[in-house]
């Protein structure tokens, strides 16, 4: 029950007026996830962006995710609470460098993680998310050389899963996941000796080797709900605890601090607030706009990924 006059009520009213749907990534604040029509990982949200009815999409996540929603919904208005909600992986893969690589290596197949700018997507042959990256790379003929970009830890993990030698890996990293260390994991294991470990594949190899399960954010939630274990050390952004509590009530989840912020929060994801969500629904700004030609070229590798079920 929502108290009258609260910001939550304002958001719900604006949402109705605008015929807006609200999509939220697992890393958003709980109060935002609470209001969402759909919560998911980046692959699920990309699919749902196209399936759900509405004139406006309010995307609570980071900017590249809102851009993906726009590519799939060119005729809808797509807004996001904060234009500065970026991603260190987007910063690590400037479009000019990817274009130059492509020119130098015309025969290589460029597989880009969705955590890239729309300009980089436009230079790519196929996209992937952490959920389908192995499937995407396996869909490419083995004799072809693959460039995987921009996350080096996800790239190395995919290389181990696929056993593929001819894979070049870009050297980008996620500021949240890349600084989880085995030292901190070991300390958590001492405190929680019965806990099993679930990790996102953006974590370093030394940590992934010790994980009982490796997968995307939604895959982690599914696994924690499904498996018999009662206590989990979770190596990803702590916003996921909202979905974990809903899907696996009564189970215990421990988040370890990384070496970057001594926390497990993504500073970009956490830029979004209820106030900014209200303002973007009211003003229909910041709005995602993608130049037509870039959108046309970026949509092709996105559709190739989505066609791989
Ligand atoms: P997911 O695709 O697992 O949601 O991951 C997105 C992301 O940004 C992880 O840091
Ligand atoms: Fe980017 Fe890492 Fe934040 Fe995910 S958690 S949005 S990869 S900086």
Give the residue extent of every domain in the chain.
7-85+269-290, 89-173, 177-255
Question: Mind listing the pLDDT tens digit for each residue in 159-186?
Answer: 999 999 999 999 999 999 999 999 999 9
Q: How far is ligand 2, taken at its centre, from the CA of residue 276, in Å? A: 20
Q: Is the CB of 129 under 6 A from ligand 1?
A: yes
Q: What angle do CA 162, 164, 165 make, to 5 degrees?
A: 155
Cis peptide before 286 (omega within 30 of 0): yes
Smallest CA separation from ligand 1 atom 2, residue: 42
Is the CB of 179 within 6 Å of ligand 1?
no
Give SS3 for 30: helix
CB 240 within 8 A of CB 39: no
The whole-number pLDDT of residue 231 equals 98
pLDDT at 5: 66
Q: Measured between alpha carbons, how far is 43 from 135 in angstroms, rounded to an integer? A: 13
Mean pLDDT, to the nearest integer, of 235-254? 97
State the average pLDDT over residues 204-222: 97
pLDDT, residue 52, reads: 85
Residue 236 CA: nearest ligand 2 atom is 5
The arithmetic mean of pLDDT across residues 197-213, rounded, is 97
Sign of CA dihedral 78, 218, 178, 29: positive
Helix/strand/coil for 195: coil
Do the domains 89-173 and 177-255 sit in the same CATH topology, yes or no?
Answer: yes
Contact 71, 93 (CB under 8 A): no
Distance from the alpha carbon of residue 120 to the mean position of ligand 1, in angstroms = 18
pLDDT at 153 over 80: yes
Instruction: Give every CB contact of residue 141 below 8 A, 6+ residues apart in sequence.
Output: none
**Residue from 173, 172, 226 nearest 198 by CA:** 226
Mean pLDDT rounded to a whole number for the chain? 96
Predicted confidence at residue 50, as pLDDT, reads 87
Ligand 2, pocket-test mutation among 93, 266, 267, most atoms within 8 A of CB: 266
pTM attached to this predicted model: 0.96
Q: What is the dotted CATH code of the domain comprising 89-173?
A: 3.40.50.10800
> What are the tens digits of pLDDT across the range 67-108?
999 999 999 999 999 999 999 999 999 999 999 999 999 999
* Residue located nearest, by CA, to atom 6 of ligand 2: 87
Best residue for ligand 2 mutational test, from 24, 27, 42, 87 (most atoms within 8 Å of Cβ): 87
Residues of the chain with pLDDT > 70, as a percent, come to 98
C-alpha of residue 49 to centroid of ligand 2, in Å: 20
Considering the domain 7-85+269-290, what is its CATH architecture?
3-Layer(aba) Sandwich (3.40)
Instruction: Determine the residue of 92, 202, 224 to mutate for testing ligand 1's pocket, defined as the one with the most ligand atoms within 8 A of the Cβ atom.
Output: 202
Q: Which atom of ligand 1 is nearest to the CA of 40?
A: 4
Give residue 180's pLDDT.
Answer: 96
The three-class DSSP label of residue 65 is: helix
What distance in Å separates the CA atoms of residue 240 and residue 70, rounded to the nearest whole number?
A: 24
- Give the count of beta carbons closer than 10 Å to the beta carbon of residue 273: 17
Residue 2 has pLDDT above 90, yes or no: no
Residues 6 or more apart in contact with residue 85 via CB below 8 angstroms: 61, 62, 63, 268, 269, 271, 272
Q: Give the three-state DSSP class for 244.
A: helix
pLDDT of 216 over the 90 cut:
yes
Fold assignment, 177-255: Rossmann fold (3.40.50)
- Phi and psi of 302, rounded to 5°? -70, -45
Confidence category of residue 309, pLDDT binned at 50, 70, 90: confident
Torsion angle in degrees (nearest 10) through CA of 95, 293, 81, 243: -80
Q: Is the pLDDT of residue 260 over 90?
A: no
């Amino acid at each position: 029950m929502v108290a009258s006059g609260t910001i939550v009520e304002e958001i719900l009213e604006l949402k109705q007026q605008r015929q807006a749907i609200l999509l939220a990534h697992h890393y958003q604040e709980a109060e935002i996830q609470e209001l969402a029509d759909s919560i998911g990982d980046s692959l699920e949200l990309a699919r749902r962006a196209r399936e759900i009815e509405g004139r406006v999409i309010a995307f609570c996540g980071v900017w590249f995710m809102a851009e993906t929603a726009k590519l799939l919904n060119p005729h809808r208005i797509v807004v996001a609470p904060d234009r500065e909600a970026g991603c260190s992986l987007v910063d690590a893969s400037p479009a000019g460098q990817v274009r130059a690589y492509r020119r130098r290596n015309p025969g290589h197949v460029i597989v880009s993680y969705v955590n890239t700018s729309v300009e980089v997507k436009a230079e790519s042959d196929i996209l992937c998310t952490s959920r389908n990256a192995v499937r995407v790379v396996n869909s490419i003929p083995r004799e072809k050389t693959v460039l995987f970009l921009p996350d080096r830890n996800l790239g190395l993990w995919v290389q181990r899963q696929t056993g593929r030698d001819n894979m070049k890996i870009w050297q980008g990293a996620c500021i949240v996941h890349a600084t989880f260390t085995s030292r901190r994991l070991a300390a958590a294991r001492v405190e929680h000796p019965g806990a099993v470990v679930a990790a996102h594949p953006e974590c370093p190899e030394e940590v992934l080797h010790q994980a009982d399960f490796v997968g995307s954010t939604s895959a982690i939630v599914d696994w924690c709900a499904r498996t018999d274990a009662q206590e989990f050390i979770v190596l990803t952004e702590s916003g996921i605890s909202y979905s974990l509590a809903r899907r696996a009530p009564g189970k215990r989840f421990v988040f370890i601090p990384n070496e970057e912020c001594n926390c497990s929060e993504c500073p970009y994801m956490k830029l979004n607030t209820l106030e900014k969500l209200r303002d973007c629904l009211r003003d229909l700004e910041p709005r995602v706009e993608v130049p037509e030609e870039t959108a046309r070229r970026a949509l092709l590798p996105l559709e190739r990924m989505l066609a791989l079920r």
